[in-house]
A and B are shown apart, each in its own frame.
Chain A
Amino acid sequence: MSANPPVLETKEVTIRFGGLTAVSNFNISVPKGSIVGLIGPNGAGKTTCFNIITGFYKPTQGEVFLEGKPITGLPPHKVCEEGIARTFQNIRLFYNETVLQNVMIGGFVRQKSHWWMPPLMIPSCTREERELRETAMALLDSVGLGKLAGEISSALPYGAQRRLEIARALATKPKFLLLDEPAAGMNPQESQELMDFIKRIRTDFDLTILLIEHDMKVVMGVCEHIWVLDYGILIAEGNPEQIRTNPKVIEAYLGEEATQNA
């Protein structure tokens, strides 16, 4: 599909829960620097794929590779350490903490000091925390949340919470970012802003992005390549134009809602 080497590859990933096969033979390859989408009707297994890639589920079969390195079966925190960050379908912020704290928590994975250092006032640790705070502030400024840094995150409006969740994910310094329905609950204008935002962070942070989305405008507008999942099976892939015209996709998914929209 493009010359860039793949950042993320899955090979024949299959997962069964009891007797039920939720995802089978899931093969994707995401080239570096691209924005790609995973779509499909409700219950098709999209979030399950995210959970497999990020280590929350262990696939029954198959392998996941990040820049050629197998990461299958690593626990979620290791996957994040390797450079994959994610957001959640129903936003999961640390709601009792401030906006700044949320982002600093994201930065913890790259922090070198140990837990016993702050009470002993080790200078290197104090310095690192100060730098971390500054980076976090800079990150917040760049996503337009700088003014809200001191607010408790639960007090933010919905759209700002979405952006904060992305900012928090960016603070982990990922190579590969997974967005689970980032436009859910947004009005057309907000989703337009979101599309620009996603494109911008790709270049600013040198990212590769995979997103799950129901809003076809967003998917078609931002993704360069799309995979379609139905009942746990990939039924189509291609660029937005190919997907739009693929009869299988229209039958499985676009048939219900997006044909009118598109």
Chain B
Amino acid sequence: MSLDMFIQHLFNALTLGSLYGLIAIGYTMVYGILRLINFAHGDIFMLGAYFVFFGVTLTKLPWGIAVVLAVALSALCGTVIDRIAYRPLRDAPRISALISAIGVSFFIENLGLVVFTGLPKPVYRPDWLVEVINLGNIRILPLALIVPAIAFALVMGLLWIVYKTKPGLAMRSISKDIETTRLMGVSVDKIIALTFGLGSALAAASGIMWALRYPQIHPFMGVFPGFKAFIAAVLGGIGSIQGAMIGGMLLGLIEIMAVAFFPALSGYRDAFAFILLIVILLMKPTGLMGEKLEEKV
């Protein structure tokens, strides 16, 4: 493989990785607080992409405004899901909320099928994002630079919220001990809603950029990116925001490079993530950046 090709692949991996990472953050935050795998998270990703699509085609909004509205709307969807499907189950066995999440996921996907139809829709892309830039022999889209940059900026913003603001402090505190935090007078439900909102906003941002990069959207587009992003979150260490981003990057890198170096494996591409998951769970269940959760005898 030539160096040029390698760099080309590296850019692809960087894009894919940051998209995985952004979704993974939502998984990791929700899991860190509620110990719940929010199966519906991948579908928020899909909704984000559709909201922009309808914003541009149906309501003829300028693209930029449509994007902002779509992110906000997706964040709202995330909190509504929590309110309706997860909050009543806080005191139920943990798996109940997980089954509810699986139900919500199928519900959104099939509602998508009903409302959006199953036909893949082509996505509007502003020209300035897709004019090929030539760097020597390397041809890349501006997207390949902008996606990681936006992802980086969003993560920095999120880290600022989590580590420098009061709600962020409450979030971290809930993830350590939800009951004590409640006793401290923190409105736990509001903070959890905020967590869902922030995670969903990032997933929507990822979905919107995904649709720019792979410009076709359909109701089931969130399923595999969702699974894979969860795996990225586990890889990075569940509960850790930085870990989720690193996990996403690693997963993107592995998927792109494995296929680049061994084209014969391309058919198995969707299996890599799951194999990786099982290997991590067995070797180092806490992931790269995670803390150990001990079971008390």
Contacts and interface: CB of A to CB of B under 8 A. Distances in A.
Task: Give yes or no for direct A-B contact (beta carbon below 8 Å).
Answer: yes
Interface in B177-200: none
Contacts of B297: 47, 51, 56-57
Determine the interface band of chain B, counting residues with CB < 8 A from chain A: under 10
A51 B297 CA distance: 8
Nearest to B294: A17
B296 to A, nearest CB: 10
Main DSSP-derived SS at the B contact region:
loop
B249 to A, nearest CB: 30
Interface in A29-48: 47
Interface in B279-297: 297
Contacts of A47: 297
Interface in A214-252: none
A104 B208 CA distance: 58
Interface residues of A, number: 4
Contacts of A57: 297
A53 to B, nearest CB: 12
B269 to A, nearest CB: 40
B100 to A, nearest CB: 22
Contacts of A56: 297
B293 to A, nearest CB: 14
A57 B295 CA distance: 12
Interface in B252-297: 297
A51 B296 CA distance: 11
A97 B217 CA distance: 50
A57 B296 CA distance: 11
B208 to A, nearest CB: 44
Contacts of A51: 297
Top-4 shortest CB links A-B:
A56-B297, A51-B297, A57-B297, A47-B297
4 contacts: A47-B297, A51-B297, A56-B297, A57-B297
Interface of A: 47, 51, 56-57
